[in-house]
A and B are shown apart, each in its own frame.
Chain A
Amino acid sequence: AQTVTQSQPEMSVQEAETVTLSCTYDTSENNYYLFWYKQPPSRQMILVIRQEAYKQQNATENRFSVNFQKAAKSFSLKISDSQLGDTAMYFCAFMKQQVNQAGTALIFGKGTTLSVSS
């Protein structure tokens, strides 16, 4: 079974600074997807960034980037130029890729609460 571990329950950062959230996962699969989702206090889960395991290049979305280390099974999220609106709970998630395209469940970590202060 796949597991996702987020070892930082809470993080805080000042506006305009950079913060990195950690995530490790355990799987025997070779083909899979990794995600970071954001859940603001309003509680709707929003996709931040996605990485396919077969891609060596780290994904980037504006101020958000990842450091994907496949051998180490590590998938950290870097937020640059932090903004007050980045305050939220951040979840790392894993989905294995099914050969028959049936799809599988998205497995989440326990989350990291990020607080951005002015």
Chain B
Amino acid sequence: DTGVSQNPRHKITKRGQNVTFRCDPISEHNRLYWYRQTLGQGPEFLTYFQNEAQLEKSRLLSDRFSAERPKGSFSTLEIQRTEQGDSAMYLCASSLGGTGKVNSPLHFGNGTRLTVT
């Protein structure tokens, strides 16, 4: 168990550029979550996958945001036309759950810190 891995750790970009983050969950986990966290605040839910299906999206996920998990393993989160308000820590988490499986708690990665200048 190598834990949830997120890359890159830090990303600085200019306003208007596109950025993509990657998350590699714990290998046997079928659920994957993306959260956004600003300084001193709790994580805000963005979206959630069970295997390759995106089952839930927050209203925070504007049309500039898109997430994929094409093979039910790693996931990418893309932000198009970045704005300064997108500056935050983006956290990925994974868990095991569903019919016939024991629901496990969420395990979080170290996050990707995005700074939009």
Contacts and interface: CB of A to CB of B under 8 A. Distances in A.
Interface residues of A, number: 26
A47 B105 contact: yes
A109 B42 contact: yes
Contacts of A108: 35, 42-45
B45 A101 contact: no
A78 interface: no
A55 interface: no
Interface residues on B, range: 20 to 34
A104 B42 contact: no
B59 to A, nearest CB: 11
A102 interface: yes
A45 B43 contact: yes
Nearest to A52: B103
Contacts of A42: 110
B43 A103 contact: no
Contacts of A111: 40-42
Interface in A48-101: 50, 91, 100-101
B74 interface: no
Given A45-B91, A47-B105, A91 B43 contact: yes
Interface of A: 4, 6, 33, 35, 37, 42-47, 50, 91, 100-111, 113
Interface of B: 31, 33, 35, 40-45, 48, 50, 55-56, 58, 89, 91, 93, 95, 97-99, 101, 103, 105-111
